[in-house]
Structure 1
Amino acid sequence: MKINNEIKIGLMVVVSLILLVVMTFTAEKFSFSKKGYTIKVQFKDISGLTLSSPVMFNGYEMGVVENIAIKEGKEEVKIELTLWLNQKARLRKGDKVYVKNLGLMGEKYVGIVSKSNNAPYLQEGAFLIGEDPVDFEKLMEDGQGIAKQLNEVSQNINELLEKNKETIDEILVGVNETLKNAHSISDDLDDLMDVNKGKVDRMVANLEATSKNLEEMSLDLKLHPWKIMYKGKDK
């Protein structure tokens, strides 16, 4: 019985080791038999990306994050990723590389989008600069700052209106009075035009008649200029 128990325990250990190996290969998502190549991509921030995170090429999973290294520069620290890519994922110079989430709160992944079909292909060990992910915390801080400023502006406007409430009321009353006076003047002008409409019409008619007489006289003198001479002799 004791030997049987030891055999069972041994078998369980072996099976566990086999499962562990299978799970490791499954997590890597690519078998060693598949051909591929590696490239290096540098970011300022990878937002929680980890080893073995997937690499999506134009939305299709074609690789994994093979290594993550910290590179200290003169001015700032960079994060350098080594990406293993299936040989079918042929990257070109100028392709866009970024870090994103699978879904709203899903795992991180490296995304690659091809930009040009005319650019040369990248070779093994090529180096790219990635586009850093959006810093949501900074966006939230900026949004809170803007909201605070808007609130302060709103308070200042309210205070200004409150302080000048009486003046504004007086201005509004004055505007209303001015509008009433304007309407009154307009009505008076209409009445005046109605009362003097006949006189105005007669004046216009007289002016038209006088103008017509002058035109006829001018035409007559042009046609009979000697009339001026006769009138001079008569005098």
Structure 2
Amino acid sequence: MKISKEIKVGLLTVGAIALFIFGYQYLKGRNLLNDDRTFYAVYDNVEGLTSSAPVTVNGLRIGNIDNIDFLDSSGRLLVKFHVDESFKFSSESTASVYSTGLIGGKALAIVPNYESSARAAVDGDTLKSDIDEGLQSQVMKEFIPLKDKIENMVVSADSVLTAVNKTLNPKTRLAITQSLDEVNKTLVEIRGLSRNANSLLSDNREQLDRTITNLDTTTKNFAAISDTLAQVEIAGTVKELESAISKFNVVLDDIASGKGSLGKLMTDDKLYENLERTTRQAEMLMQDIKLNPKRYVHFSVFGKRPGEYEKPEDRDQ
């Protein structure tokens, strides 16, 4: 059977169109020979996500973004994407938009929820959406407070410079110049004093040497005296002192135990009371002698009788 040229041209045209469609879909990341599942996610802002952007799981590419379009008049966006049939995940999983690099584009990551008991996701499901905070956003968040601090520092520095300019008026500058001149004069005087001191040391070097020699001799003599004091037998003196203290302690023990006259006087209450009574009686006797001397010494030329006896007062009553 002979095929006409028209049929050949038609077949070639259909083949070219099919090859073009297959190549176009392949370049978009979709293989027409594989069974893919289509999913949806709704976002308020896709952060620059574009069609044909990769869909990944743990960094592995498993699909692509098919289309991004407005969902309704509120401005929300509906993202349509397909995922390889071989990857299974639950319907509670999340589709998160993230940055692929510091200056790179955006991609969509499937964050599976393995702990959920929900059913497996099927073709046409709408997944929960999320926006991952990328490195650029984190850098901007850290940079904004730093920028504010830098601005505050610049304002403070400007205020300081303004205050310095106001302070450094011609009168103040003249005063500073005069102060620096005085400092220079002081330094010149100090250098002169230093030269005089060096000259004085040079002129009296021999006397200083003799003084240092005498000081060294005195130090050696003091060291010899210290050695002599160290050799004195202090142990014997300490031993004699300990012996005297021991004997004194024995005497104190005897007194405390009532031995000897002093011990009995210190410990025997009866002896103390008798001694006190004797002292009191002697005192009363002396008082009676003062009050009635005629009772004890009677002398009369005419034989006059002594007067009536007056009993002395007891001072202890």
3-state SS of the aligned residue for 1:64?
strand
Percent identity over paired residues:
15
| Matching residue of 1:56 | 56
Contact 2:89 2:113 in 1 (8 A): no
CA RMSD, aligned part only?
4.5
| Matching residue of 2:152 | 152
| Matching residue of 1:79 | 77
Alignment length, in residue pairs?
A: 169
TM-score using structure 2 length: 0.40
CA radius of gyration, larger in: 2
2:154 equivalent to 1:122:
no
Q: Deviations over 1:28-75 (max 9, x none)?
A: 3233342232222122222222222221123222122222122347xx
CA shift, 1:81, in A, is: 1.0
Amino acid corresponding to residue 87 of structure 2 in structure 1 = A
Please identify, of 25-34 and 145-154, the stretch whose mean Cα deviation from structure 2 is larger: 145-154
For residue 95 of structure 1, the aligned residue among 93, 96, 99 is 93
Contact 2:89 2:121 in 1 (8 A): yes
Q: Deviations over 1:121-180 (max 9, x none)?
A: 2233322232224474796487346423344157548968x98xxxxxxxxxxxxxxxxx
Amino acid corresponding to residue 71 of structure 1 in structure 2 = L
Structure with the larger strand share:
1
- Counterpart CA distance in 1 for 2:124 and 2:81 is 9
Amino acid corresponding to residue 112 of structure 1 in structure 2 = I
TM-score using structure 1 length: 0.52
3-state SS of the aligned residue for 2:23?
helix
Contact 1:93 1:119 in 2 (8 A): no
CA shift, 1:230, in A, is: 4.6
Cα distance change of structure 1 residues 40 and 18 upon mapping to structure 2, 3 Å threshold: closer
Amino acid corresponding to residue 108 of structure 1 in structure 2 = K
Structure 2: gaps (5+ residues): 1-8, 164-248, 258-265, 277-317
Structure 1 residue ranges, 4+ long, deviating more than 6 angstroms after superposition: none
Cα distance change of structure 1 residues 125 and 19 upon mapping to structure 2, 3 Å threshold: closer
Cα distance change of structure 1 residues 227 and 151 upon mapping to structure 2, 3 Å threshold: farther
2:69 equivalent to 1:69:
yes
CA shift, 1:100, in A, is: 2.8
- Counterpart CA distance in 1 for 2:133 and 2:158 is 36
Contact 1:39 1:83 in 2 (8 A): yes
Contact 1:58 1:114 in 2 (8 A): no
Cα distance change of structure 1 residues 131 and 159 upon mapping to structure 2, 3 Å threshold: same
CA shift, 1:231, in A, is: 7.3
Contact 1:46 1:133 in 2 (8 A): no
Contact 2:98 2:133 in 1 (8 A): no
What are the within-5 Å matches in structure 2 for residues 134-145 of structure 1? 134=133, 136=136, 140=140, 143-144=143-144
Cα distance change of structure 1 residues 71 and 93 upon mapping to structure 2, 3 Å threshold: same
| Matching residue of 1:42 | 42
Contact 1:30 1:63 in 2 (8 A): yes
Cα distance change of structure 1 residues 230 and 42 upon mapping to structure 2, 3 Å threshold: farther
- Counterpart CA distance in 2 for 1:118 and 1:232 is 107
- Counterpart CA distance in 1 for 2:153 and 2:91 is 49
Q: Deviations over 1:75-126 (max 9, x none)?
A: x632221221122221224434222344444443211132425543223332
| Matching residue of 2:206 | none
| Matching residue of 2:269 | 229
Contact 2:25 2:32 in 1 (8 A): no
| Matching residue of 2:111 | 113
- Counterpart CA distance in 2 for 1:100 and 1:232 is 112
